Chains A and B, each alone.
Chain A
Amino acid sequence: DGGITQSPKYLFRKEGQNVTLSCEQNLNHDAMYWYRQDPGQGLRLIYYSQIVNDFQKGDIAEGYSVSREKKESFPLTVTSAQKNPTAFYLCASSPQDGEGAFFGQGTRLTVV
């Protein structure tokens, strides 16, 4: 089935550790995105990428890093520099600029 796969669904991290969230899509979409959602709030854009080996910072990129070595994959690393990393992270992809986005099921990250 075509879609976007995020893993893991739940992730626990100790303070001071880096952690990488996986996002894979087999929709052949050019654009991929990472959003963060905090309880009772909307989605805020962390990073986005329109083509392989290129990505742009979103509104809240500090403390995060990404790579886009393959069209299908857009992993997000939450570094120890991110002061409040506990949140729900959503990955998305879209076929073209402005075409809307299709989302994965999300990863819930908790810092313990």
Chain B
Amino acid sequence: AQKVTQAQTEISVVEKEDVTLDCVYETRDTTYYLFWYKQPPSGELVFLIRRNSFDEQNEISGRYSWNFQKSTSSFNFTITASQVVDSAVYFCALSEEGTGGYNKLIFGAGTRLAVHP
């Protein structure tokens, strides 16, 4: 069965430290998508990135970077020089083909990141 594992429940860092959030997934599909979302205290989920299974290039967006390794079924997320505003819960998600061919998102349990001044 498809699933997403975020083994780190909570991470606490001091501002300006680098931090990596781990995500490991399982799927039988050969074509799939992986995602990261940020959930600030307000509750709304903010889309950060989508990666399809055929694109293993790492991606960098400002202080954010993502490392996709198909060989280890991992899609890790690194924040460089963390800031207090990065404090949030971060979710990794996998698209899964549901009944009738419709895709749905399967979420990990999330990692709560606390960045202290």
A: which residues have CB within 8 A of B? Answer: 31, 33, 35, 41-45, 48, 50, 56-58, 88, 90, 92, 97-106, 108
Contacts and interface: CB of A to CB of B under 8 A. Distances in A.
A48 B98 contact: yes
Given A56-B99, A101-B47, A106-B43, A42 B107 contact: yes
Nearest to B29: A98
Contacts of A41: 109-110
B47 A98 contact: no
A22 to B, nearest CB: 16
A44 B105 CA distance: 9
B8 interface: no
A92 B106 CA distance: 13
Contacts of A90: 43, 45
Given A41-B109, A101-B105, 11 more contacts: A42-B109, A42-B110, A43-B107, A45-B106, A56-B98, A58-B98, A98-B103, A102-B47, A103-B37, A103-B44, A103-B46
A105 B47 contact: no
Contact of B104 (A33, A88, A102, A108): A33
A100 B45 contact: no
Nearest to A44: B107
A97 B104 CA distance: 8
B107 to A, nearest CB: 4
A3 to B, nearest CB: 10
B100 interface: yes
13 contacts: A31-B102, A43-B105, A43-B107, A44-B107, A45-B104, A48-B98, A56-B99, A56-B102, A97-B101, A98-B32, A98-B103, A103-B44, A106-B44
Interface string B17-60: 00000000000000011010100001111110010100000000
